[in-house]
Chain A
Amino acid sequence: MSRINTVLGPIAPEELGFTAIHEHIGYGMPGCELDTTWWKAPEVRYEETVPKLRAFHNHIREYGAGAGGYVDATGICNGRDIDYYKSLSARTGLHIVACTGFVGGDSALPFFERASVDYLYRQFRHEITVGIGGDTTAKAGIIKVGVSRGFKMKELDLRIYRAAARAAVETGAPIFTHLAVDTDPALAVFKEEGLPLDRVLFGHADDGVSQGKVKQDLLTELGGRIGFDTFGYDLELPDPPFWGRHRQDRLNHLLGFLEAGHVKQALVGADANCSPLGWPGVRGHTVNYIFETLLPDLRAAGVSEDTIHTIFVTNPTEFLTLTPGKN
Chain B
Amino acid sequence: MSQVNTVLGPVPAASLGVVAPHEVLVSVLPGAQYAYDIRMDRAEIFHAVADKLTAFRAAGGGAVVDAGGMFAGRDVPLYEALSSATGVHIIASTGQMDEAMLGGYFLTPQTNPPTPWPAEKFAKLYADEVTEGMVVPRVERRAAAGLISTAVTASGMTPTDESQLRGCARAAKQTRVPLSFRAGADPLAELAVALDEGLAAERIAVSNAGDAAKPIADQGAFVVFADLDAAVQFARGGYADKTLVTTGGAAVAFGHEVASASYAELLRLVPADLTEQLLIRNPAALLAVREP
Contact = CB atoms under 8 A, between A and B. Distances in A.
A23 to B, nearest CB: 17
Interface in B79-99: none
Nearest to B255: A111
B105 A77 contact: no
Interface stretch (A101-109, A191-199, A212-220, A288-296): A101-109
B106 A31 contact: yes
A297 interface: no
Interface in B99-123: 100-112, 114
Contact of A110 (B70, B100, B105, B110): B100
Contact of B114 (A108, A109, A149): A149
B103 A32 contact: yes
A127 interface: yes
Contacts of B109: 29, 279
Which interface residue of B29, B137, B138 has the most chain A CB atoms within 10 A?
B138
A106 B138 CA distance: 22
Given A31-B106, A107-B104, A126 B36 contact: yes
B185 to A, nearest CB: 20
A155 to B, nearest CB: 14
B270 interface: no
B200 interface: no
B234 interface: no
B108 A133 contact: no
B34 A29 contact: no
Q: Label chain B's interface by main secondary structure.
A: loop
Given A34-B71, A126-B36, A29 B255 contact: no
B31 A148 contact: no
B268 interface: no
A149 B112 CA distance: 10
Interface in A1-60: 28-36, 39
Contact of B34 (A76, A122, A149): A76
A34 B137 contact: yes
Which interface residue of B39, B105, B109 has the most chain A CB atoms within 10 A?
B105
Interface in A115-144: 122-123, 126-127, 130, 133-134
Contact of B125 (A34, A108, A123, A279): A34
Interface of A: 28-36, 39, 76-77, 106-114, 122-123, 126-127, 130, 133-134, 148-149, 209, 241-242, 278-279
Interface of B: 29-32, 34-37, 39, 70-71, 100-112, 114, 125, 128, 135, 137-138, 141, 255-256
What 5 A-B pairs are tightest by C-beta distance, nearest first?
Answer: A31-B103, A109-B31, A111-B31, A30-B103, A31-B105
